[in-house]
Amino acid sequence: SLPASVRIVEMGPRDGLQNEKRLVPTDTKVELVRRLEGAGLKAIETTSFVSPKWVPQMGDNSEVLSRVLAQAAAGVAYPVLTPNLKGFEAALAAGATEVAVFGAASESFSQKNINCSIAESLERFRPLTEAAQAAGVKVRGYVSCVVGCPYEGAVAPQKVAEVAATLLEMGCYEVSLGDTIGVGNPASISRMLEAVMKRVPVARVAGHYHDTYGMAVANVFASLQMGVAVFDAAVGGLGGCPYAAGASGNLATEDLVWMLDGLGMATGVELDALVDVAAWISAELGRDPASRVARAVLAK
Ligand code: HMG
Ligand code: MG
């Protein structure tokens, strides 16, 4: 049987915008978070404290986070990405109460994305998770390339399980499994989850599926059938990773909500309000909403 309710972690302001070529104004980023809250999202990844030389789009991280937190909505979490202690300290100074570390199950992707090996990344995360614990800050963990890597091809489910277990062991409350380039399908995602769930309780697992090949909702459904009840998604299907060429956006939040509504699973998100946010941010970026659900709802 499927989980009774699903927690959605909104990726639009971070994963959604990090790869935009033109710098998105800080005001627009803050406004996006406000509108997402208005649609009922309760966890909104707000920005990332990475190097501005690597990801210029997130260079206004401190300003975005402090402005968002100055008018934080009750019961809403605003996690931010932090690759190392330097990023964590900057996030903490801006008021962060939740951060996320991001590792990978593929060596080449780890090198291209965060300039170190998987083992080195885990060593960097350890002092970060300790500092977070001392400061009362929650830490989420990501594993990228959970079924395929843009540089290495297929990734072994065992490797994903190993990295996921290590992240939980160092104090992450949840580990989000990223199909960074969207090459997974219900069969490969299920095989990967089966391996992970031998090491990690399903209640600590989240799915983060990019929609490059249009399989993201199918992958969510396969994951729901295995008991996964937390999913990452980006309004309007925004985004992509700068270190994974050709990777398209996350699963669109409105596609996810449409399916979950149909399955009778509570999310707390209001579909029509969410589609309005998709239309607004897509217009701000100078394009039509990418998602099927937004296009269908807006055409009515
Ligand atoms: P590095 O160059 O190896 O770092 O980068 P370093 O420690 O050698 O430092 C070099 C310079 O960077 C120094 O400055 C540091 O101060 C600075 P300099 O002395 O040259 O002026 N620096 C920083 N500045 C700001 N914030 C920081 C920071 N750390 C060092 N936190 C680093 C290593 C990790 C910083 C770099 O590789 C980086 O920023 N990578 C960003 C990668 C990224 O943002 N990728 C996209 C997000 S992950 C993703 O999208 C996948 C996900 O969605 C899941 C999925 O889909 O799979 C999560
Ligand atoms: Mg991603």
Atom 45 (ligand 1): residue with closest C-alpha? 113
CA 300 to ligand 2 centroid distance, Å: 31
Question: Using one digit for the tens of pLDDT, what is the confidence trace for 47-86?
Answer: 999 999 999 999 999 999 999 999 999 999 999 999 999 9
User: Is the minimum distance from the CB of 151 to ligand 1 under 6 angstroms?
Assistant: no
Question: Using one digit for the tens of pLDDT, what is the confidence trace for 186-241?
Answer: 999 999 999 999 999 999 999 999 999 999 999 999 999 999 999 999 999 998 66
* CA 295 – CA 51 distance, rounded (Å): 35
Atom 50 (ligand 1): residue with closest C-alpha? 241
Best of 14, 20, 51 for a ligand 1 pocket test (most atoms within 8 Å of beta carbon)? 51
Full strand arrangement of the beta sheet holding 174-179 = 7-10, 230-233, 205-209, 174-179, 138-144, 98-104, 80-81, 47-48
Please report the ipTM that was assigned to this predicted complex. 0.98
Which H/E stretch holds residue 10?
Answer: strand 7-10
> What single-letter amino acid sits at 72?
A
From residue 33, give the alpha-carbon distance in Å to each of 23, 26, 174: 17, 11, 22
CA 208 to ligand 2 centroid distance, Å: 7
Question: Using one digit for the tens of pLDDT, what is the confidence trace for 90-117?
Answer: 999 999 999 999 999 999 999 999 999 9
pLDDT at 245 > cutoff 80: no
User: Is the minimum distance from the CB of 15 to ligand 1 under 6 angstroms?
Assistant: yes
Cβ burial of 282 (10 Å; 0-12, 13-18, 19+) is buried
Choose the catalytic residue: 145, 149, 172, 241: 241
Greatest Cα-to-Cα distance within the chain, rounded to the nearest angstrom: 52
The model's pTM: 0.97
CA 132 to ligand 1 centroid distance, Å: 18
Q: Which long-range contacts (CB under 8 A, 24 or more apart) does 50-55 make?
A: 50/81, 50/83, 50/87, 54/242, 55/18, 55/242
Which H/E stretch holds residue 37?
Answer: helix 26-38
Active site residue 145: no
User: Is the minimum distance from the CB of 142 to ligand 1 under 6 angstroms?
Assistant: yes
Which H/E stretch holds residue 66?
Answer: helix 61-70
Give the three-state DSSP class for 279. helix
* CA 223 – CA 286 distance, rounded (Å): 34
CA nearest 194: which of 154, 233, 146? 146
CA nearest 250: which of 205, 217, 203? 217
User: Is the minimum distance from the CB of 110 to ligand 1 under 6 angstroms?
Assistant: no
